[in-house]
Structure 1
Amino acid sequence: MSDSEPLAFGLTIDNDTCSTCSLCVYACPFEAISVRQLNKERKVEVDEAKCRFCGVCYSLCPLEAIKITYYDMEGLLKQAEKLCTEAGSKSLIVACKGSNPTDKIIASRVGGEKLPVLKVPCVGRVPLDFYARLLAEGAVEKLYVLPCDEEFCRLKEGGRISFLRVDYLQSLLEELGAGRLLTVVKGSNKARVDEAKCLGCGNCVHYCPYEAASLRSPGIASIDEEKCMGCGICLAYCPNFAITLEGYEHESLSETLRRLAGGKASILVFYCQWAYTPETSSGNGSNLCFIELPCAGRVDPLHILQALNLGFKGVLILACKQELCNFEEAGARKAEENLKNLKKLLGQLGLEGKVEIAFVSPKYPGEAGQALSNFISKIGG
């Protein structure tokens, strides 16, 4: 997308509907919303630079004056109903994808049941009316809500706000004798070290943006789970694959690559789950296949080389803009550094043009799509 073309912001406020109650102002985790006095009128305004597109304001607005691209109420309802219909189930799991990356993790949190799952960037962006309507209209008879642990939420107050609201709904249902309809299970996904494989190189200590990794005698890495935020950056720098993060282990991603290589897609896209938000109701094109990661900093140069060796024409990384990175601004920077070093190697083989990185944000809906289109045109996919 040309720098001269203004990006359309994915969140708008209907000033004719807005009562300027200021609930969104107080709820915004990033202090991006304010109320301005213009002559005799009050007006709610959003600071695009500060906004992280968490959607908490959207979910809390009592008059539905805030409109948001991706995961809006009607879109969520349609997707939920579709998932339940396809699975033939009257139960649904609504999960924050940051702490619930795999079906195995999700099943373990709901008693081992394999149920349809609706993943969202933050459970805090889901309006209470969504749950109420699903239950009232009979689309579901049992709901499981899986938010992040409050201290693990990468969107600051998203986990706490979502839990407080869902907890309120659960209490209300219990008073009405229907408490069994809704179950809330908090969770997180943390890195762990296989001590038998650890070489004691110290890479994880050096690169961890949260100082969660340390070396202890006799030179074995250790991860402080209270500090770890599950970005996966340490995995990309571990030379012996001694660090695991469920769903994003080296061999797990390698197996995914091998499986995808057997399809029709010619271009592989690694994307940070915070940078790119695919629409819930549409596909992404047969010439593209996608691998979601907790952070672009998790992209391992070995996986890029594997993808090219498997026959992919090109590999694109969709990363957050550095100032919007949810991991202390480290993820986007590390991804760019790794790619720069890799391209020096690929340049010797004449392959440097087959790998690129684009910095995007879901708050500008057309940005990622334009990056994908540009890369497809360049590669000829």
Structure 2
Amino acid sequence: MIQKLQQIEVIEYIKGHLHDDPFQLLLKKAPQFDFPLKEAVEQIRSRQKSRKKLPEWAENFRLVLPPPLSIEQSSSGITAEFKAGLVQGESIADLTGGMGVDTIAFADRMMNVYYVEQNPYLVGLAKHNFAELGLSNIQIHHADASGWLVENNIKTDWIYLDPARRDDLNQKVIGLQDCSPNVLDMIPQLWRHTTNILIKLSPLIDINQLVRQMSGVKNIWIVAVQNECKEVLVNLQNGIEEEPTVYAMNHQKGYWDEFSFKMEEEKQAEVQLSDPQEYVYEPNVAIMKSGAFKLVAQRFGLKKLSAHTHLYTSRDCMYEFPGRIFRLISILKPTKKEIQSNLHEKKANLAVRNFPGKAEQLKKIWGIKDGGEDYLFATTLQNGKKAVLRSVRLSDLQQEKDANA
């Protein structure tokens, strides 16, 4: 089938219908006899799915893409490059190779890369795609992770795993013990082949529970792109007993914003509470996921609005803050009358932070629509009172102007 999908007429069909509705295409007659219509349309769906996540793949028509579900479960180009930057040495074994996005990124950094995958279709795609990309330093193995380790007495500088996070009913799972392969059971076997393990996990996983479950945790990276948490990475090092370092990483406008700390630092950090001052701060999602709620305030000289409200404030603007910065306009009572009387055309961008109800519910109750330049934070202040903070967001340009003033 790979050869058929590489025929000129099939590639031209895919190019010509790249922006069409795949389901409508399936209802039409195939362009010619023996034309692989179903498979060609699936390529269109996969390329549409990968347009933002893997633009280099979507635009390279010599590559054959896997089904859309594999695209959904794969790393993005940005996060794959990030992972490749974490490993050092000469060799790495990717024991859950999948469509090969991470494997390819590792191949740019390592002399020897082992791609291991149990799905024969994905193995076939990997052979084709790696050859098309001219990657000669990847050895391809059709095997399951544990079986390959048993059959091969190979030692590598690193082992990487991205366990499948769906169960037998194709439902998403989060816990380590529910993923396939079960990494917790494999760890003793992995140590016989390497001294460094890198594991990609669900962005929903509890990192405190993760540390309790696993020994040898050296680093944890919470990886976000455009303020959306994409994955959690954990680095295990054989024999290490020190407290792990947590890295909250957010890729925004072409660069990585980093906030790193030891878990004990957060436990020991002290933070003052305050009513809203001139500036209000909302940490990026990676920091929120990391749980560094007190430490981020301490490091940037900020005060919290209340113990359980993860919004921060200051009189002077902290331009380097890793998140969004707002200038406070007014503090409103959470009533329809007061909110509407302070908004232009009854439009605002509403966020709920430690306040009863959800944003969609509150917008209906208060009769407001999305949009405009006003940002509203429905929140709880240090005295326990509910309030709505009306603010405007400082744009990147405005922050730069203010900082240089």
User: TM-score normalised to the size of structure 1?
Assistant: 0.31
Larger strand share, 1 or 2: 2
Task: Report the structure number with the largest CA radius of gyration.
Answer: 2
TM-score scaled by structure 2? 0.30
Greater relative contact order (Cα < 8 A, sep 6+): 1
